[in-house]
Structure 1
Amino acid sequence: MHYHGTPIGGTRQDVARFLMGRHALVPYPRQDDMGVVAEVCQSFVLDNGAFSIWRKGGTLDVEGYTAWVRQWYRHPGFDWALIPDVIGGTEGENDALLDAWPADLVPHGVPVWHLHESTDRLARLAQGWRVVALGSSGEWATPGTRAWWVRMREAINAICDDQGRPLCKLHGLRMLNPDVFSKLPLSSADSTNAGRNCNQLDRYGIYVPPTAAQRAAIIADRVERFSSAGHFERTDEEWACYFAS
């Protein structure tokens, strides 16, 4: 499933046109499009905003976020919510946040495993949760680099059976790039690519769509043409091209 991060620029009408029938991710710090998402999207997930805090500083309002999840988790389009996490935090800090997640919201929450954490923690999460989100962090903060692929191979290898099937469903945070998600056995991924890059007019050639929403739709349509890998390929030959980048 391709989750497009919001907010999306443009008028409310433009935003509705772009989101119609798609899947969306709504971050707690920027709920601008929540009403439109709830009305026109096939489904949506809620993001706690840890990435923005990691980049810009600040403190996550765990109590406020939890209340927001309670407000929306009964909506028919709600899929799940990311459980609060600290992107650069220790395993102990993130395990404590998992333990603090309310029991009644456990079925609706998704824990995050960060690439700088141990694969033992990933295996533990995969054995205990229906969905686990994979977050790039530390020296592997940029998806698609050579070092990132090396680390991702270690991670996926740790939680797949002998046929390359993961123990649970996997969500790729900031991994809605076909060059990334089409090579991994992800059930879903997200990105703010469409909303953030629709104003880079040079990517459209000489025929530039007039509105931001139309440009965002072109980006999203191109992404949605691709699916994730059906299984994890362990052979060195399959991975050689990623390591060379």
Structure 2
Amino acid sequence: MMAAVYHGTPLTPREALLAAGARAYCVSYFRPDSVADVEAQAPFIMYDNGAFSYWMQAVRAGVDPMDAGRLDWSSYYEWLEDRLFVPGRWAVIPDKPAAPSQMNDGLLNEWPHGRSRGVPVWHMDGPLDRLARLCSQYDRVCLGWIGDPKREPVGCAAYRRRMDEVSTLMGNCWHPLHMLRGVAVGGDYPFASCDSTSLAQNHHRYRLRLFAGTPDEWSGVRAYADKLERMAA
């Protein structure tokens, strides 16, 4: 099975996003710059709440990690009201990085848009029985790896040991799981989907000059997007 790859935005300049075409995209509430263009061309959209970005912003400002991040998500819920209930769209339910599972369960209770459009996050250092419970309550669940992105990135040995436990829990019939920042392992497990910011971060390296014979200036962007999607096959 091939996992759907949601490409992170904003993708700049605007011409690069338009040239990338009708794909699955992720729009963060922290950086919704490209939302109108994405909604005009994308058949599948994942809306991310940006909780990790808000949390990191506060931590860098010196706030204690347990107190960092947004407390009121009502503006995110309102932002979703007129855009979420279109076929092919879903949103990540807010959580609080570094917080215990009980606190994040409280945030799940605030979600106003139903189980089919909202997707909770299971942080992979959390109890496996919480993952099982989330799978029983929601149509899709996001997995969030908690290793240091430089020393223990997604796909490292520690990640794979934890995924061995997830695989045992899932058995022969995997619940639809989305691997956050997981395109590198999208084809290693039967994920329903994953996301990546690689296109937004690196597309400028894949302009026409790197793809001799391509028909237009942005063909390299499309070729790189295709390459990322093949990684999840």
Q: TM-score normalised by the shorter chain: which range applies?
A: 0.7 to 0.9
> TM-score scaled to structure 2, two decimals?
0.83
Cα pair 1:130 1:169 within 8 Å, conserved: yes
The two structures, once aligned, show a CA RMSD in angstroms of 2.5
Give the drift of 1:200: 4.5
Cα deviation 1:71-96 (Å, max 9, x = unaligned): 211234x4210000123221011101
What is the SS of the residue equivalent to 1:171? strand
C-alpha distance in structure 2 between counterparts of 1:139 and 1:92, whole Å: 23
Cα deviation 1:65-119 (Å, max 9, x = unaligned): 111111211234x4210000123221011101001112x4333100110011111
Shift in CA distance, 119/139, structure 1 to aligned 2, threshold 3 Å: farther
> TM-score scaled to structure 1, two decimals?
0.79
Shift in CA distance, 33/65, structure 1 to aligned 2, threshold 3 Å: same
One of 178, 182, 191 as aligned partner of 1:175? 182
Answering whether residue 150 of structure 2 is matched by residue 145 of structure 1, we say no
Cα pair 1:131 1:170 within 8 Å, conserved: yes
C-alpha distance in structure 2 between counterparts of 1:200 and 1:182, whole Å: 24
C-alpha distance in structure 2 between counterparts of 1:45 and 1:33, whole Å: 13
C-alpha distance in structure 2 between counterparts of 1:107 and 1:138, whole Å: 29
Which 4+ stretches in 1 moved above 6 angstroms?
Answer: none
Count of residue pairs brought into register by the alignment? 216
More deviation, 111-120/191-200: 191-200
Cα pair 1:116 1:138 within 8 Å, conserved: no
What is the SS of the residue equivalent to 2:114? helix
Number of the residue aligned with 1:194: 199
Cα pair 1:197 1:216 within 8 Å, conserved: no
Number of the residue aligned with 2:65: none
Shift in CA distance, 128/120, structure 1 to aligned 2, threshold 3 Å: same
Answering whether residue 165 of structure 2 is matched by residue 165 of structure 1, we say no
Answering whether residue 111 of structure 2 is matched by residue 101 of structure 1, we say yes
One of 126, 133, 136 as aligned partner of 2:145? 136
Calculate percent identity across the aligned residue pairs.
Answer: 33
Cα pair 1:116 1:139 within 8 Å, conserved: no
Higher helix share: 1
Give the drift of 1:206: 8.6
Residue correspondence of structure 1 range 190-229 to structure 2 within 5 A: 190-200=195-205, 213-228=218-233
Cα deviation 1:148-196 (Å, max 9, x = unaligned): 11112212322x13xx321x2111100012xx11111100110101111
Shift in CA distance, 31/112, structure 1 to aligned 2, threshold 3 Å: same
Cα pair 2:211 2:220 within 8 Å, conserved: no
Cα pair 2:115 2:138 within 8 Å, conserved: no
More deviation, 79-88/139-148: 139-148
* One-letter identity of the residue aligned with 2:81: R
Answering whether residue 118 of structure 2 is matched by residue 115 of structure 1, we say no
Shift in CA distance, 101/200, structure 1 to aligned 2, threshold 3 Å: same
Number of the residue aligned with 2:63: none
User: Is there any run of 5+ residues in structure 1 with no aligned partner, and where?
Assistant: 229-245
Cα pair 2:154 2:182 within 8 Å, conserved: yes
C-alpha distance in structure 1 between counterparts of 2:177 and 2:210, whole Å: 35
